[in-house]
Amino acid sequence: MSFGSESGLERARKRRRSNETIMKNGEKEKEINIQVVVRCRGRIDREIAANSPVIIKTTPREIYVRQPPADKAYTFDRVYGPDADQARIFDHIVIPILHEVKAGYNCTLFAYGQTSTGKTYTMEGDLNTIDGLISKEAGIIPRTLFSLFRDLEADAQDFSVKVSYIELYNEDLKDLLSSVDDPRKLKIQDEGTKKGILTGHEEVLVKNANDGIRVLKQGSIKRHASQTNYNKNSSRSHSVFSITVHIKETMPDGEDLLKVGKLNLVDLAGSECIGRSGAENNRAKEAGNINKSLLTLGRCINALNERCLHIPFRESKLTRLLQDSLGGKTKTCIIATISPAKISYDETISTLDYAHRAKNIRNKPVANQRVTKKALIKEYISEIERLKMDLLATREKNGCFMTNESYQALMDENQSRKDEIEELRKVNESLMVQVQELRKDQVMLESLRNELANQYTKMQVYQAKIDDQISSLVTETEGHVNSQNQAISACQNIVKEKTDKEVRCLKEHKVMLNKIIEEENSKSIKMKEELLTNISKYLNNFTNVQTASLKNSFGKVYDSIKENTRLEANITALEGMMTSNTRYFNDLKEIAFKTGQKKLVDSQQNFQLKR
């Protein structure tokens, strides 16, 4: 979180100075639209298990809901997808609002959406701190408390912070049971047991962020306990955590100035009970689960949107409490939370339509008046003066007289009481109708009770019959079991006898088999010996015959070798003869050659001489 070099207080002072200028110039207070942002979380386990696909696509300012054949598109001041973590939401949305609160404005931040879309996650998130530090999952409230104290301790001379936590649930019942209009007048009660009563803490002074978180935790725990005890539908209650900041500034003339800013952080009930137009739908009606305050909030938004003269703020405790945040002097931001899954399509469209309508509401934020000590004293003095005048008038006229101013105030109060009586009368009427319906229900219940008693008696008779049948069945079954046991033991004896006999036979067989094996062994040894003798005889004969035949063959070979030797000698002699013949032949050839040469020379000489 970064505040830059300029301190928050300086910025606030500047803003105040510019505001004052506007007022001095006599310009009209500036109207601004309610800021509406949308936060779409990722799919949760239940949606993944249901195989429900993602149908939401976001850009920084647009949101598209897939709906074939064409997507539905919405534009908001800002859109956050599943990747936007708690720190980003706080930095973008809340820090600018905190500057306004410190500058003395009243601001309100609503979380609106279907159950389980992340309203409480966004507003509260993880409330645990580790070593005095908030967790990554901490939501807007703990982050606001820490940021506020850090800034005030750094910037402000003197300050005080008060917080309150109130809860509204089951608006219809609450209106009947509670006659208290101002939540600050309420006693702190055990919310877990008091059905439908507006509950909560009066304003408490807190010294640090952890004190503030403690107040929220107490309320939050009770809220969950009461929801579990009273109504399983966790989305039925609204919670409002308010932080009021008093900052004292000393002016250059030494005058002390008190600046007051307030921030309401509202976690609304689940919006699934509300129809698209803010009118109650059939499902909600059937379930008897109409959350009047949310319906009224929807109607107020519609009426403000259409610039109606009458806005039904007074029709529910929530809208009465937040009247100033809608079309009043407060700066307001709505965070609409949605699921990305297809199964939530209807509720998502309903939430986006609702949020889109809220975008058109215009507020005229005005900073709370800074009060000086002098002004406070002056105010008290004039009040005392007025009271003195009333007293004097009363004494002098010896009756009940008062100033015009007091008379007017009394008349206003009287009118307001009359309005309230009228409201109570209407409530009373609807109560009477409900009482009559309850009586009818009671008569029906009585006849049902009698019917049940008859059925119970019949059941008892039937039960006795069944008991008899069961006991005779048990006896019969026992008889069967005994006879079966006897049969089993007889079978066991027979089996034992047969087994013994079989064992005996097997033993005898074993002895016999051993004897046969011995006999067969000795026979085979004898046969083996005879076979060996025969084989050796045969081998001897074979050896003798082979030896004789070999001798014969060797003789023949020897003879042929001898013959060969003789032939070789003859061949050698022949070779000698051939050699001498060859030599003789060569000599003859040479003589012939020489004789031929001489004849050729002579003939050549003869030829030349003739020429």
Ligand X SMILES: Nc1ncnc2c1ncn2[C@@H]1O[C@H](COP(=O)(O)OP(=O)(O)OP(=O)(O)O)[C@@H](O)[C@H]1O
| Longest CA–CA separation in the chain, Å | 212
Q: Quick one: 118 or 183, whose CB is closer to ligand X?
A: 118
Q: Count CA within 13 A, CB hemisphere, residue 389.
A: 12
- Binding part of the chain for ligand X, among 108-116, 385-393, 428-436, 488-496 by CB under 6 A, reads 108-116
- In angstroms, the CA 394 to CA 402 distance is 7
CB of 117 to ligand X, least distance (A): 5
- Binding part of the chain for ligand X, among 110-118, 205-213, 345-353, 580-588 by CB under 6 A, reads 110-118
Question: DSSP string of 249-309?
Answer: EE-TTS-EEEEEEEEEEEEPPPGGGB-TTSSBPHHHHHHT---HHHHHHHHHHHHHHTT-S
Q: Quick one: 112 or 146, whose CB is closer to ligand X?
A: 112
Report which secondary-structure segment, H or E, holds 113: strand 106-113
- Binding part of the chain for ligand X, among 114-122, 175-183, 277-285, 389-397 by CB under 6 A, reads 114-122
Q: Quick one: 135 or 368, whose CB is closer to ligand X?
A: 135
Q: Encoding tokens for residue 156?
A: 């402000």
Choosing from 234, 277, 305, 372, the residue that interacts with ligand X (CB under 6 A) is 234
Q: Is 106 in the site for ligand X (CB under 6 A)?
A: no
Q: Quick one: 85 or 412, whose CB is closer to ligand X?
A: 85
Q: Is 339 in the site for ligand X (CB under 6 A)?
A: no
Q: Nearest residue to ligand X, using CB? A: 118
C-beta of residue 174 within 8 angstroms of C-beta of residue 197: yes
Helices 373-397 and 404-610 meet at what angle, rounded to 10? 150
Q: Is 118 in the site for ligand X (CB under 6 A)?
A: yes
- Binding part of the chain for ligand X, among 95-103, 118-126, 498-506, 536-544 by CB under 6 A, reads 118-126
CB of 243 to ligand X, least distance (A): 20
Choosing from 219, 270, 278, 328, the residue that interacts with ligand X (CB under 6 A) is 270
Q: Quick one: 100 or 191, whose CB is closer to ligand X?
A: 191
Q: Are strands 106-113 and 331-338 parallel, antiparallel or unpaired?
A: parallel
Tell which residue, 165, 205, 172, has the closest CA to residue 188. 165
Q: Is 135 in the site for ligand X (CB under 6 A)?
A: no
Q: Is 163 helix (H, G, I), strand (E, B) or coil?
A: strand
Q: Is 115 in the site for ligand X (CB under 6 A)?
A: yes
CB of 90 to ligand X, least distance (A): 12
Choosing from 76, 90, 121, 313, the residue that interacts with ligand X (CB under 6 A) is 121
- In angstroms, the CA 56 to CA 263 distance is 31
CB of 49 to ligand X, least distance (A): 14
Say how many residues touch ligand X, by CB under 6 A. Answer: 14
Choosing from 120, 144, 226, 325, the residue that interacts with ligand X (CB under 6 A) is 120
Q: Quick one: 126 or 155, whose CB is closer to ligand X?
A: 126
Q: Quick one: 35 or 117, whose CB is closer to ligand X?
A: 117
Q: Quick one: 8 or 118, whose CB is closer to ligand X?
A: 118
Q: Quick one: 311 or 341, whose CB is closer to ligand X?
A: 341
- Which residues from 400-459 bind ligand X, rule CB under 6 A? none
Choosing from 19, 108, 235, 350, the residue that interacts with ligand X (CB under 6 A) is 235
Amino acid code (one letter) for 285: K
- In angstroms, the CA 373 to CA 368 distance is 16
Q: Encoding tokens for residue 20?
A: 């004052």
Choosing from 8, 104, 113, 212, the residue that interacts with ligand X (CB under 6 A) is 113
- Which residues from 158-217 bind ligand X, rule CB under 6 A? none
Q: Quick one: 117 or 325, whose CB is closer to ligand X?
A: 117
Choosing from 19, 108, 117, 291, the residue that interacts with ligand X (CB under 6 A) is 117
> Binding site residues for ATP, as ranges?
113-120
Amino acid code (one letter) for 301: I
C-beta of residue 309 within 8 angstroms of C-beta of residue 96: no
- In angstroms, the CA 314 to CA 415 distance is 14
Q: Is 116 in the site for ligand X (CB under 6 A)?
A: yes
- Binding part of the chain for ligand X, among 112-120, 146-154, 353-361, 389-397 by CB under 6 A, reads 112-120
Q: Quick one: 263 or 273, whose CB is closer to ligand X?
A: 273
Who's near 213: CB < 8 A, 6+ residues apart? Answer: 127, 129, 141, 142, 145
Choosing from 43, 99, 119, 262, the residue that interacts with ligand X (CB under 6 A) is 119
- Which residues from 33-62 bind ligand X, rule CB under 6 A? 41, 44
- Binding part of the chain for ligand X, among 18-26, 109-117, 428-436, 462-470 by CB under 6 A, reads 109-117
Q: Encoding tokens for residue 455?
A: 């059925």
CB of 234 to ligand X, least distance (A): 4
- In angstroms, the CA 505 to CA 508 distance is 5
- Which residues from 278-337 bind ligand X, rule CB under 6 A? 337
> Binding site residues, as ranges?
113-120
- Binding part of the chain for ligand X, among 1-9, 115-123, 239-247, 541-549 by CB under 6 A, reads 115-123
Task: Please provide residue 244's backbone torsions phi and psi, each rounded to the nearest 5 degrees.
Answer: -110, 130
Question: DSSP string of 201-263?
Answer: PPPEEESSHHHHHHHHHHHHHHHHHHHHHH-S-GGGEEEEEEEEEEEEEE-TTS-EEEEEEEE
Q: Encoding tokens for residue 160?
A: 């005080």
CB of 373 to ligand X, least distance (A): 44
Who's near 390: CB < 8 A, 6+ residues apart? Answer: 401, 402, 403, 406
Residue 424: exposed, middle, or buried by beta-carbon count in 10 A (0-12, 13-18, 19+)? middle
In degrees to the nearest 10, what's the CA dihedral of 68, 69, 73, 79?
40
Q: Is 223 in the site for ligand X (CB under 6 A)?
A: no
- Binding part of the chain for ligand X, among 27-35, 113-121, 349-357, 588-596 by CB under 6 A, reads 113-121
- Binding part of the chain for ligand X, among 111-119, 155-163, 409-417, 593-601 by CB under 6 A, reads 111-119
Q: Quick one: 192 or 312, whose CB is closer to ligand X?
A: 192
Identify the DSSP state of 129: E
The residue behind tokens 């007091």 is 406
Tell which residue, 118, 124, 108, has the closest CA to residue 337. 118
CB of 336 to ligand X, least distance (A): 11
Which spans of this chain sit near ligand X (rule: CB under 6 A)? 41, 44, 113, 115-121, 234-235, 270, 337
